[in-house]
Structures are given as structure tokens and as C-alpha cells.
A = this chain, B = another copy of it.
Amino acid sequence: MDFRSDNIHEVADPVIKAIINANKGTIASYGEDEITNKAINLLSHLFDKDVYSFFVSTGTAANSLSLSAITPPFGTIFCGAESHIYLEECNAPEFFTNSAKLYPIKTDSGKILIDQLETVILNHPSEKFDMVPSSLSLSQGTECGTIYSDEEIRRIIKITKNKNIKIHMDGARFSNVVAATNKSPSDLTWKLGIDVMSFGTTKNGTLSAEAIISFDENITKNMNLSMKRSGHLLSKMRFLSAQIIGYLENNLWIELAKKANGKAKKICESLQKYNYLIMPWETQINEIFVIIPNEVDIYLKKNHVQYHDWTKISLKDKYQSKQYKLIRLVTSFNSDDKKIEEFISLFDKL
């Protein structure tokens, strides 16, 4: 019963097959090849627009390179106080932007509190030698397994656009959002005003392939240089591109994400009937957060359930007593249904 993360799971078979398919003959290196072109075209097709796509091995690279494309060294990046870029990327955003400042905004259920954002932007220093509000990063889906509504994103962008603040979307679990909302990628991104995004695939069935996707050519005009300078331009790019192709073709990515979401939903619904379990926010994608009494934590661990403790990150202001833990369960397309049943039944036995 392993719910630690989606990145502990396997690669989907069609992705492996796509790699094998790509492994034929000599081909230009560094992305000047037809497999890469095909992947790029698939993404443009997916987004109903010519988008500018670049493939890297990690989400941290995708996020940091995206942010560096819209933030000068003397810029401020607004982000959620619990966001991956703020807490989990070991200063990569500061590094790639050559010293931009991350400005954390309070969140609720993983979402930036819009009133707080408005206040912070309004009060940002504004002398001619003060750091310049430059970008905002929002995670869609959030690190709490929730989804920003279109209306929420529109409100955020209304605040930021008149300050010329560019918007980055951390889409590490974007597939789960598309699967959950049945909205098109374009409706969820550039049509709302997103400028550049990290389009994650690793958590949903590839080996390690993340796309930086920009909706404005100017934003990413130096991206190959930035990638090379940071060691993120793969020589055998075809194998990153092949992963993207295998991931997108036949709608695999949505299918996988639907499975992952469905398994999360099942767990969520099953747990809801136990009144000693509290779910602090809605499970909208493939992450379930549950506040459990300490003794349940001990019981679950004794029964070999694996998950991450999120108490430190998000429980801070609630349930402060030390009698509770906030745990995070993540499902994947590949999560074993029997193990899920087994996990759920553990609560019956409690």
C-alpha cells in the first residue's frame, strides 16, 4: 500500500514502446530531429495554437527555466507559500533567475489567497531601485490536490496584468486537471492568460520528461541557450521527445490521469464515512489529504501503508495540537486496486 507519490510508480507501456520506436537509426542531436518536431507539433495541436515547446528531464528544471524566461535578476516572483517552487526546489528558481526573489503568499487548500495577493502587490516596494514585480507562479493542480477555478485564475490575472506581471503555471499534475475538468488545455491556459507553463508528464507515466510550453515566442526566444547553460539540453533529445509522443498519442495521458483521479476518488469517498477522519479540502485530482489522529497513523504504518506526512507543511495553523497528523496519499494510474481495497478495509478493522 504505497501512496507516497506518483513519481514512485512505473512508466506506462506505450511510453516505453515509443522509446523503442525512436531507437532506430542515426538522427540529429540536441533536438534538431523529426521525432522532436513531431512532439512539438503534437503539443501545438493539443493547445489549438502554435506553442513553443522545450523538453527537459525534471519539473524543477521546467519550472525554473520558465520562471527565468519571465523574471529578471532584480524581479519578484509571487507564489504560494506552500508551493513546490518555494518549498521543494532547493533554491532552483533563485538560481536560474540569477537572484530573483520569491515572495510567498498565504494559501488555502493550496491556492493563493487572492486578497492577500492583491495587498502584497499593492504594497510592493516601488522606488526606481526596488525589485520589480515580474511574475507569478500558480500550481494547477495545486500541491493540495485542488484545482483553481477559471474564475479564480481570472481574478488573479486581473490583479497581475495591469502590473505587467507574467503568469507561470506549474502543471506538474496538469494532466490530472484536464482529466478532472474535461476542459481543453487551451481553455485552462492561454485563453485564461497563462504566459508559460511546465507541462508535467513524469508523474503520470513517463520516465522523466517535462515540457516547457510558452504561448508567446518572445518569452522563450533564448530558451535553448538557457537550457544548454544549465545542462538541460539533452544530446539524444529524441528519447525525451519520444516519451512526450507516447504520452500524448491515443489520448494516453488523459486515460492515465483519469485512472489516477478515479482511484483517489474511490479512496476519498471510502474514507469520508469515518468521522474521525477529516479531509481538510476537496480531493479534485489524485492527491488525498487526511487529518488523522496519531494512533491511526501508528496503526496504518504498522500495516505497511506508506504515505508522506504533510503535517509540517499545511497543518500549521489548524489542529495545532500534537494529537493529529495530516497525511498525503497520492494515487497513480498504476496504483494497485487490490492494495487500495486492502487499505480502505484497514479502517473497517480499526
| Residues of A that sit less than 8 Å from B by CB | 2, 4-5, 7-11, 16, 19-20, 23-30, 56-62, 64-65, 72-75, 86-92, 94-96, 98-102, 104, 119, 122-125, 127-132, 202-203, 207-208, 222, 224-236, 239-240, 312-313, 316
* Bound: A11/B58 CA distance, A: 21
State the CA gap A127–B131 with chains docked (Å).
Answer: 31
- A208-B231 contact given A16-B23, A224-B128, CB 8 Å threshold: no
- Please list the 6 inter-chain residue pairs (A to B) with the smallest Cβ-Cβ separation, ordered nearest first: A61-B231, A123-B312, A98-B98, A90-B228, A7-B235, A94-B99
CB-CB nearest in chain B for A320: B119
B-chain residues with CB within 8 Å of residue A95 when the two chains form the complex? 73, 98-99, 229-230
Q: Which residue of B lies closest to A210 (CB)?
A: B231
In whole angstroms, how far apart are the Cα atoms of A261 and B270 in the complex?
A: 61
Which one of B23, B123, B312 lies within 8 Å of A11 (CB-CB)? B23
Contact (A129, B207) CB under 8 Å given A23-B16, A94-B100: no
Judge whether A239 and B61 touch: CB under 8 Å.
Answer: no
A90 x B225 contact (CB < 8 A): yes
**Other A-B pairs, 6, CB within 8 Å; known A8-B27, A10-B25, A73-B229:** A4-B26, A57-B231, A92-B229, A96-B231, A98-B98, A231-B232
Select A233's contact among B27, B60, B119, beta carbons within 8 Å.
B60
Report B-chain residues with C-beta under 8 Å of the C-beta of A235. 5, 7, 58-59, 202-203, 208
B4 lies within 8 A of A74 (CB): no
A-B residue pairs in contact (CB < 8 Å), sample of 12: A8-B29, A10-B24, A11-B236, A59-B235, A60-B233, A73-B91, A89-B228, A90-B130, A91-B99, A91-B229, A129-B224, A129-B233
Q: A231 contacts which of B19, B58, B312 (Cβ < 8 Å)?
A: B58
